[in-house]
Amino acid sequence: MGEGLTVGMKKELTLKTLPEHSAQRFFHNLPNVFATPFLGGLMEQVCAALIDEHLEPGMQSVGMSMDLKHLAPTPLGMEIKVVCEVTAIEGRKVIFKVEAFDEVEKIGEATHGRFLIKADKFNARVMEKARKNFPS
């Protein structure tokens, strides 16, 4: 399922923050700084990308938990680096430690859990749920 995925593996990504990453996209009366939802999304993205490099065909991963702390604001225009590390693998569950840094300081940290799934089985469950709630 996750061939070659081991505790201690790391991956990082960077993002140049732009106006569309502003907290004001979520509510008008927030500071015009890099938004927490985008930070969480970046953290999920880097973890999913690491897992994806080790998945067998037909497999995917889904997020199952995130305990995120947004520690410091980042002005728009700065670059952010997010680094994840696999800290535990329990069957199909993979746990990550994630840290984020802007050009000045550490801005966030999280523990993130992802679960390995068989895409066809998962999609069939989603379709069945949709059929129950939205009959043709």
Catalytic residues: 36, 44, 70
Q: What is the DSSP string of the chain?
A: -BTT--TT-EEEEEEE--GGGBGGGT-TTS-SBB-HHHHHHHHHHHHHHHHHTTBPTTEEEEEEEEEEEE-S--BTT-EEEEEEEEEEEETTEEEEEEEEE-SSSEEEEEEEEEEEEEHHHHHHHHHHHHHHHS--
